[in-house]
Structure 1
Amino acid sequence: MATRLPSPPRVGMVSLGCPKNLVDSERILTQLRADGYHMSPDYAGADVVLVNTCGFLDSAKEESLEAIGEAIAENGRVIVTGCMGKEADVIRARFPNVLAITGAHEYEQVVEAVHEAAPANLSPYIDLVPDAGLKLTPRHYSYLKISEGCNHRCSFCIIPSLRGDLASRRPDAILREAEKLVAAGTRELLVISQDTSAYGLDLRHAAYPLKGGGEVRAHMTDLARELGRIAPWVRLHYVYPYPHVDQVIPLMAEGLVLPYLDIPFQHAAPNVLRAMKRPANDAKVLARLRGWREICPDIAIRSTFVVGFPGETEADFEYLLEWLDEAQLDRVGAFRFEPVEGASANALPNPVPEEVKEERYARIMVKTAAISAAKLQAKIGRTFDVIIDAVGDEGATGRSYADAPEIDGEVHLRDAGHLAEGDIVRVAIEDADEHDLFGVPLAD
């Protein structure tokens, strides 16, 4: 008699917030897949729905609550996890029928909650998980989380209360994960954490053995070097400009790591930086940017800035605009200050009126768009490697070393219908606008 295979329970997933949350979602789904669950692309086909929430800002919390409400309305069986899990009372006050609530990176508790809500029966015939785990990103790029938490106490941020202090992963474990991802098709590794520069500080930068011999320190520079030997592209995110970051720039000049740094400067005016409890030596930062460009002239720097922080004067904001003129950053994102429950900045005096925040936000976006446009215009006539993200009948869309997925610009290619997603090709740049480049792939 033929063996009748059991029908596995199906899990739906809604993942909100930053790439770090996305990695958490991938880990949860990978474990559930190993435990015999299948994934559902919609609410209707799911036996239970997971909502991985973001709790960084009040607006993000409201988006999370709306997502929970939609999942309950469409399915009814909902488990909540993520950063907003710290506020279980708020969630249950609005949605008393939620099955379970867990906090950020509490993987075991989430999986246990799913087991209880929809028990699975493992089958040796069908329950197989790829070595690299399940991914929520395209096959050719992957986020690689190297640590959790943060030791900073910025006045506008509640991340340490949500995710705790810095907790670095062992470098050998990170490198093993990177090898599996590359073996499964990843061409670009995007290194993420709350503070990539601080990686390994809690491990006292100890050295760990490598499987092929030798050892690697739990240090940003050593880890970046080893990752550059594994993956074609390695991109560093959330890098604070500590002095030892200087050691990474030669790796970029050598081609081991992409010449790209995502540095959350947040502001430039000393008064505002002090109120934010951020490093306030803006002149030294400008000098270091110049030094980095001397070593690696094509290095792309992206950053984010907060406008309308409590106490920010017009003079402070003008100082920021002048600093941006000198810094000449390649990519800039800006945010209007938004109070978030639990942040000490909420108690600061002299809040900035909303209409002033809007006006300053518009001005900084005009300024940074002009800088970006000029930098992109200077690339016309040059050639760059581009990783392909999407291919149509005639053209394709990809990214250069200066473009992280979802947050930066793109490179639009003509005569590129023969390419495939994940290809890395040499491209001649023919045109540019404020954010994107346009070009054609060169013949092999």
Structure 2
Amino acid sequence: MCAPIMATKIPDAPKIGMVSLGCPKNLVDSERILTKLRSDGYQMSADYAGADVVLVNTCGFLDSAKEESLEAIGEAIAENGRVIVTGCMGDEADVIRAKFPQVLAVTGAHQYEQVVNAVHDASPPIPNAFVDLVPEGGLKLTPRHYSYLKISEGCNHRCSFCIIPSIRGDLVSRRIDAVLREAEKLVAAGTKELLVISQDTSAYGVDTRHDVRQWKGRDIRAHMTDLARELGQLRTTEGRAPWVRLHYVYPYPHVDQVIPLMADGLLTPYLDIPFQHAAPNVLKAMKRPANEAKVLDRIRKWRAICPDIAIRSSFVVGFPGETEADFQYLLDWLDEAQLDRVGAFRFEPVEGAAANALPDAVPEEVKEERYQRIMEKTAAISAAKLQAKIGRILPVIIDEVGEPDEEDGSVGATARSQADAPEIDGNVFLRDVGEGRRAGDIVDILVEDADDHDLYGVPA
């Protein structure tokens, strides 16, 4: 009789929990950290109880964000006890350790190697040659059909309200061949929408003097326009161009060169531009370029080239020294600019920001009143723009498909148009999408109705 075959027992891998706070750039950092840990043999835990170690990727942009980060660290310690802190607030290790002396380690922003080493020290990996642990495209915290593509770290601007350069340093651009290789892999792995992010997308490659690299047998510069043109050549497994959405674009003159790419369908007709304000006095105090009139002229030219371009931005109200006249200037500028998507923030002092020392602080009740007025203004602009889309046929990307209705079996879905980035803009709510639709499908729909921020429609 043959001896029984003894199966090799694969040891249980250590499990990692992750709490990721803050902006999409932090989310990309979290994905990279988890992908590296997965390749080292770690498993992921969906809750505190099942994790051997919990990572908290913090945000330190505003004091309120820091409070949220400290609360998250406290919750992780209370629920698990074995916590490693990383991210933007990691530069304030003394603050974190003073409040939570039991944290295992604290590392700073985008310090991937250090945080992975800290995990190795806290819970050593178990080598396993029998299992391929890294899915194609890496480990993702976003849905499979869209992915953030980070092209650089840091920023060369010194805006008076911002502490990002002190946290993340000056601009450091990734090699363009590495960026394009990552984008190609993401699309091959099922990504239908690429969201290009950085602190200053327009400045990509400035620090390397637009270094030239070989890609597909051609010389390609590390420059926003070259990058945009190459991303427009990517194709999904179905042979379609993925949506390519540009975020955090400062309106430098060379941005004009990407608008024809949008008109030609190579880029998603969408620009996320952080204007922050329009009044010259406020822009000067913010240490931002005060060229609001020229920007209005350029926006008109962009729309002449690509009528469907959607422009989103964010604005700060109640900045120190902002007068009622300054604020009214901003409202009048918005009437002229007719931006498609707008977010607004009440000015909030953040430790280390130069703006904290500026005179003439705006009272909180005035900030709130101005915030309500700007949101009312921008909601009215958005509503009018969306009403104008009723009756049009537009492409949308499906984010989620609902369950069949109990009465008639109809299926609805939540989608986004090309004017809508995930989680920050509006949605398109669909009815009667039929069977077989999946998240990531790009379909043409007939717009039937609209409200202040969202569209409603049915597959065309």
- What is the TM-score with the length of structure 1 in the denominator? 0.99
Which SS does the other structure have where 1:246 is aligned? helix
1:127 deviates by 4.1
Q: Which of 367, 372, 387 does residue 377 from structure 2 map onto?
A: 367
Equivalent of residue 415 in structure 1, options 432, 436, 456: 432
Paired with 1:373 and 1:389, the residues of 2 have a C-alpha distance of: 22
C-alpha distance in 2 between matches for 1:216 and 1:381: 42
Q: 5 Å matches for 1:280-319?
A: 280-319=290-329
Residue 237 (structure 1) aligned with residue 242 (structure 2): no
| 1:3 matched to 2:8 | yes
Q: Does 1:222 align with 2:226?
A: yes
Q: State whether residues 396 and 417 of structure 1, in contact with CA within 8 Å, keep that contact through their aligned partners in structure 2.
A: no
Distance 2:253 2:303 in 1: 15
Report the alpha carbon displacement of residue 206 of structure 1 after superposing the two structures with TM: 2.2
Shift in Å, 1:4: 1.3
Distance in 1 (CA, whole Å) between partners of 2:438 and 2:162 is 41
Query: What is the match of residue 444 of structure 2?
Result: 426
Residues 59-78 of structure 1 mapped to structure 2, 5 A cutoff: 59-78=64-83
Distance (whole Å) between structure 1 residues aligned to residue 92 and residue 190 of structure 2: 38
- Say yes or no: does 1:261 pair with 2:271: yes
Q: CA deviation at 1:128?
A: 2.1
SS in 1 for 2:456: strand
Structure 1 residues 352-400: Cα deviation after superposition (integer angstroms, max 9, x where no partner): 0000000000000000000000000000011111000000121111001
Give the aligned partner of residue 340 of structure 1.
Answer: 350
Aligned to 2:415: 398
Structure-to-structure mapping, 1:42-441, within 5 angstroms? 42-210=47-215, 212-230=216-234, 231-392=241-402, 393=404, 394-418=411-435, 419-441=437-459
- Given candidates 15, 23, 40, the residue that maps to 2:28 is 23
For the 8 Å contact 1:188–1:234, the answer to whether it is kept is yes
How many residues are treated as equivalent by the alignment? 441
Contact 1:391 1:417 in 2 (8 A): no
Deviations 1:102-131 (A, max 9, x none): 000000000000000001112111242123
C-alpha distance in 2 between matches for 1:207 and 1:88: 38
Q: Which amino acid aligns with 2:431?
A: R
> Partner amino acid for 1:160?
P
Give how far 1:3 is off: 1.2
Partners of 2:434 and 2:352 in 1: how far apart? 51
Cα offset, 1:232, TM superposition: 1.3
> For the Cα contact (< 8 Å) 1:80–1:100, is it kept in 2?
yes
In structure 1, stretches of 5+ residues that fail to align are none
> Is the 1:83–1:163 Cα contact (8 Å) retained in structure 2?
yes
Q: Distance in 2 between matches of 1:137 and 1:43?
A: 20
Deviations 1:126-179 (A, max 9, x none): 242123110000000000000000000000000000000000001110010011
- Asked whether 1:38 is paired with 2:43, we answer yes
Helix, strand or coil: the match of 2:283?
Answer: helix
Q: What is the rounded CA distance, in whole Å, between the counterparts of 2:8 and 2:146 in structure 1?
A: 39
- For 2:46 and 2:248, the matched residues in 1 are separated by 31
Q: Deviations over 1:254-275 (max 9, x none)?
A: 0000000000000000000000
In the alignment, is the contact (CA less than 8 A) between 1:33 and 1:127 conserved in 2? Answer: no
Q: In the alignment, residue 413 of structure 1 is paired with which amino acid?
A: L
Q: Aligned with 2:307: secondary structure?
A: coil
8 Å Cα contact 1:51/1:80 also seen in 2: yes
